[in-house]
Structure 1
Amino acid sequence: MTLLDRLNQDMKQAMKNKDKESLSVIRMVKASIQNESIKLGKDTLSEDEDLTILSREVKQRKDSLQEFKNAGREDLVEKIEKELEILNTYLPEQLSDDELRSIIQETIQEVNATSMKDMGKVMGAVMPKVKGKADGSQIKTKVQEELR
């Protein structure tokens, strides 16, 4: 089942359950997917492209969450946390720290990285392997730890 099929199915269920928060988030994700497919001139997007859109939406929410926390807007913090919770149900299962560390170590050996100068090569090789399964800042931190 594609992401769009799953979103349509969940949207119908949210309408039946009168779950306005889920419905709003699902519609927003569907709109992002449709906008991206129009932009790329495709009828349907690949799984990888869907994952990119979902990851972008999650990142935007996390950035907003931090801003709202800094501003002391608890009402908006709760709303964004709920949206993140709903979005995370559509992402693949996240990698554990150990799994992520082992992927990074393998990649460092693959690209023969020896110092922080090679960080770009390592990040470029790691990101496609863990797309949607780990947060970019978390990956960056772990790569830096391994290259020290």
Structure 2
Amino acid sequence: MTTLKSKLHDDLTHAIKARDELRSSTLRLTLAAISKEEVAGKTARELSDDEVQKVIAREAKKRREAAEAFEQGGRAESAERERAEGVVLDSYLPKQLSDEELTAIVADAVAEAKAGGAEGPRAMGAVMKIVNPKVAGLAEGGRVAAAVRQQLAG
């Protein structure tokens, strides 16, 4: 079992013993998503820590989107629950890049892409290829794409 997955299992055990309903239900759902990912495809396999982290990030994103939807639907209590679950999941993810850090990385990538001959808005793909490996797991794709568009337009 990977170290991150075993940490989730251990934390689930502690949450159940502490009768922390929010944490235990969130961890159960996350471990279920990890198990589902492991058996998806033609053969079952164990996920690496990086793959487990991607599943956790996807689950956290689902919580943020659900919270927004509940908020728009006038269900503040459900939105608050989703946000609380998102906070639990965020504790297992690496710290996200600040806007300043992301902008600096994107600026370097834009300069690198322009040195390679990419110009204007059509350079988006080239810049994203350079940026994505550097920010993997540290910034959401939408934030990265918005920062790249802003740099290319400006």
| TM-score under structure 2 length normalisation | 0.88
Return the alpha-carbon distance in structure 1 between the equivalents of residues 96 and 45 of structure 2.
Answer: 29
Alignment of 1:1-148 (within 5 A): 2-40=3-41, 41-112=43-114, 113-148=118-153
Unpaired runs of 5+ in structure 2? none
Identity among equivalent pairs (%): 34
CA drift at 1:90: 0.6
Count of aligned pairs between the two proteins:
148
Cα 1:48–1:125, aligned 2, differ >3 Å: closer, same or farther? farther
Higher alpha-carbon Rg: 2
Letter in 1 for 2:38: S
Letter in 2 for 1:34: S
SS across alignment from 1:143: helix
Unpaired runs of 5+ in structure 1? none
Query: CA-to-partner distance for each residue in 1:102-124, whole Å, 9 max, x for gaps?
Result: 21122223333431111122223
Query: CA-to-partner distance for each residue in 1:21-74, whole Å, 9 max, x for gaps?
Result: 100110111111111111143432122211221121122111111111111101
SS across alignment from 1:111: helix
Q: Confirm or deny: 8 A CA contact 1:2 1:47 kept in the other structure.
A: yes
| TM-score under structure 1 length normalisation | 0.91
Cα 1:47–1:10, aligned 2, differ >3 Å: closer, same or farther? same
Return the alpha-carbon distance in structure 2 between the equivalents of residues 47 and 143 of structure 1.
Answer: 28
Q: Confirm or deny: 8 A CA contact 1:51 1:131 kept in the other structure.
A: no
Return the alpha-carbon distance in structure 2 between the equivalents of residues 143 and 119 of structure 1.
Answer: 7
